[in-house]
Chain A
Amino acid sequence: MTAEEVKQVVLDIISDVAPDEEVSDINSAESLRDQLDLDSMDFLDIVMELRKRHSVEVPSEDYPRLATLDSCVEYLTPKM
């Protein structure tokens, strides 16, 4: 997958996990948690959805790599 496709995958998952959030306004360099109403339960869901939809495993020590949209893309692109 290209970086752009990975970004879309993450955005799709976020809008399913947090349907009331407006994902088009996200600043990709800033922390997702600061911009959206995402708590640790929601992050678990993002990780679970990545596994379910794209068979990507994110071990818990790597959760910080999902902090911003940019870091998600950087971390996930080689895996997808």
Chain B
Amino acid sequence: MNYDAIVIGAGMSGLAAGIRLAMFGKKVCVLEKHTIAGGLNSYYQRRIKETKEIAQFDVGLHALTNFATKGERGKPLTKMLKQLRIPYDDLNLCSQGYSLIDFPEKQLRFTNDFEFLKNEINEKFPHQIDAFNKLVVKIGTFNELDLNANYVSSREVLKQYLSDKLLVEMILAPLLIYGSAWEKDMDFNQFVIMFKSIYFEGFSRPKGGVRTIIDKLISRLKEEGGELRFRHGVEDILTKNGKVVGVRTTKGEELYSNKVFSSAGLPETMELAKQESEASIGRMTFLEAICLTKSVPTQNEFGPTIVFHNNSEKYHYEGAKDFFDNRSAVVCCPNNYEPEHRDTYGCFRVTFMANYEKFKSLERSAYLEKKDQAYEEALKIIKNVSPNVKMDVVLKDVFTPTTVERYTWKKRGTVYGSPNKIRNGKTDIEGLYVIGTDQGFLGIVGAILSGISLGNLYGLMES
């Protein structure tokens, strides 16, 4: 079978690239190994024993970043929706109340109004506000979408602006854990993407969670005549004389095309193409404990949407030495929005940095025991953050780096991929492009824009 383009993976970037190509008459096939789309930002279901109801959990991002109001100009979210011809109202977004950066000495709250965070910093770090404002100017004028930029350490840049180390740690914490494939630090380019998407723009949630976005992308792809095959992984990327010619699927079928867009990850893609690669596999992996509670927490019991909790003045963003690192955690209350956006149950998700190799080495029973231990630790953190919350749990679950690996085929379950990003998407093989996480735009909006930009550049403009 011949196609104008083949897309590996029906995650956010793959679906977006598929839609763009199909929109303008390209014959495109999106291949997905799993039975559900979404990739790193997906969902799964579990039955609540007591009531026999089916509960749905999001995996991946805790909230949609890059909040923008309807029709707001020049914003990534509005750009993305325009390019995919998805009406803003279809996402049914609800803006967050506030989120919290929770360190022992100080706390900073932020909302989707950047002035709020400025006021917080002015109040808690008055000696740093002028320096912070200068940093904000630098970030505001920085072109983070430059496809040819090189790695620059964010800590080095921050040091030039901010003298208070605690403030640096507090600003960095959410940005690192929501996107950095590097340990301890991140590329300044990615720092700017994250800073804008989280602090300038902020968090929201589509009603129905991530599935609302996924279902919308799938229906757009189908409307435009794109083909989507589930349970079809890619076994080999076929090349000839340094050029891509197609793929062989896990079903043994060969599909031919001289353009292949892969969201499998850079090291993973090069392995499928049997090509040597210097791209390393990321060190950052996570585990997450999830629980549903019968009582939906009130604003008094649990106010913030997301809490970035850390137990010392230094934020340790690194692969966990033990199974997981309880020195810090992200506590997300994904339903914590206005009443009409709340679900029937309360939900908490607690994320710890984790150690893939340790979990991988465990026998089944020891693995389950370790998951229980992580769950207990998560409950402690929730209690610590908010002592009044009622934990009448009806369903709990824990996923680990090995779970992520099993369903996303990202090596080591690295949700932020390889530290080696290829901004322009080009590999050493002609016609083979990397999109999604390892192209380097971050979050759901970033991944979708990655698929759109590279689909436009190599699929539409070059032909």
Contact = CB atoms under 8 A, between A and B. Distances in A.
A45 interface: yes
Interface in A39-59: 39, 41-42, 44-45, 48, 51-52
B87 A19 contact: yes
B460 interface: yes
B82 A19 contact: yes
Nearest to B80: A41
Which DSSP category, helix, strand, loop or mixed, fits chain B's interface? Answer: helix
A17 interface: yes
Interface of B: 23-25, 70-71, 73-74, 78-79, 82-83, 85, 87-88, 452-453, 456, 460-461
Nearest to A20: B71
A18 interface: yes
A34 interface: no
Contacts of A30: none
Given A18-B82, A52-B24, A52-B25, A39 B460 contact: no
Nearest to B82: A18
A45 B88 CA distance: 18
B74 A37 contact: yes
Nearest to B73: A37
Contacts of B461: 44, 60
Nearest to A51: B24
Contact of A42 (B71, B82, B453): B82
Contacts of B71: 20, 37
Contacts of A52: 24-25
A80 to B, nearest CB: 19
A51 to B, nearest CB: 8
A44 B456 contact: yes
Contacts of B85: 16, 19
A20 B86 CA distance: 11
Nearest to A37: B73
Contacts of A18: 82
Contacts of A39: 74, 79
A19 to B, nearest CB: 7
A60 B460 CA distance: 12
B226 to A, nearest CB: 15
Nearest to B88: A20
Query: Which residue among B24, B25, B70, B87 has the maximum number of chain A CB atoms within 10 Å of its CB?
Result: B24
Nearest to A17: B82
Interface residues of A, number: 15
A23 to B, nearest CB: 14
Contacts of A60: 461
Given A20-B70, A48-B460, A41 B25 contact: no
A37 B74 CA distance: 7
B315 to A, nearest CB: 36
B89 to A, nearest CB: 11
16 contacts: A19-B82, A19-B87, A20-B70, A20-B71, A37-B71, A37-B73, A37-B78, A39-B74, A41-B79, A41-B82, A41-B83, A44-B460, A44-B461, A48-B23, A48-B460, A51-B24
Interface in A2-44: 16-20, 37, 39, 41-42, 44
Q: Which 9 A/B pairs are nearest by Cβ-Cβ distance?
A: A20-B71, A37-B73, A48-B24, A52-B24, A41-B83, A44-B456, A18-B82, A52-B25, A48-B460
Contacts of B24: 48, 51-52
Given A20-B88, A41-B83, A51-B24, 19 more contacts: A16-B85, A18-B82, A19-B85, A19-B87, A20-B70, A20-B71, A20-B78, A37-B73, A39-B74, A41-B82, A41-B452, A41-B456, A42-B82, A44-B456, A44-B460, A44-B461, A52-B24, A52-B25, A60-B461
Nearest to A60: B461
Contacts of A51: 24
Contacts of A19: 82, 85, 87
B23 to A, nearest CB: 8
A17 B24 CA distance: 13
A45 B70 contact: no
Contacts of B73: 37
B87 A45 contact: no
Nearest to A41: B83
Contact of B83 (A20, A37, A45): A45
A60 B463 CA distance: 12
Nearest to B456: A44
B70 to A, nearest CB: 7
A73 B102 CA distance: 58
Nearest to A18: B82
Contacts of A41: 79, 82-83, 452-453, 456
B261 to A, nearest CB: 17
Contacts of A37: 71, 73-74, 78
A16 B37 CA distance: 27
B449 to A, nearest CB: 9
A18 B83 CA distance: 9
